[in-house]
Amino acid sequence: MASESKHLSERIDRPAAEVYEYVSNPANLPEWAPGFGSSVENVDGKWFAETTIGRVGIAFVPRNGYGVLDHDVTLPSGQTIYNPVRVIPDRSGCEVVFTLRRLPDMSDEDFTRDAGLVATDLARLKHVLESAAGKE
């Protein structure tokens, strides 16, 4: 059976290529998604984040020209969660779309909470990138 999904998006008034470059660098996560992880480090070519549930692994798909930023997050338990993300060009800006998948045995409250956290992170991403543009 397919899992429930929720598509969360934010329009960012910056070129898609610039947004892709920023988001594709896991070292930037603490700036725009602090709820995900307080610190990020690269160890022997692999990325890890310190989160409220412990150390998690982060692995993005290979760099591409299509704005695909899908990534796997490997939890301390060993469970891997696939997260589809797209940066879609839209005139001079872009839209970032995160597909949140409901995990097995996830309560309605937890799914709603996770959706709120993703929406907050996307809004922060917009703020960070658009604010930085004003400083240029």
Q: Give Cβ neighbours of residue 80 (< 8 Å, ≥ 6 apart).
A: 72, 73, 74
**Mean pLDDT of the chain, nearest integer:** 93
Query: pLDDT over 90 for what percent of the chain?
Result: 86
Choose among 51, 40, 36, 38: nearest CA to 100.
36
Structural domain including 17 reads: 5-134
Give me the pLDDT at residue 135, please: 62
CA angle 86, 36, 18 (to 5 degrees): 40
Question: What's the domain count of the chain?
Answer: 1
- CATH number of the domain to which 20 belongs: 3.30.530.20
Closest CA to 103 of 94, 95, 113, 93: 113
| In the block, residue with structure tokens 């543009």 | 133
Over residues 18-71, the pLDDT tens digits come to: 999 999 999 999 999 987 878 999 999 999 999 888 999 999 999 999 999 999
- Contact between 71 and 60 under an 8 Å Cβ cutoff? The reply is yes
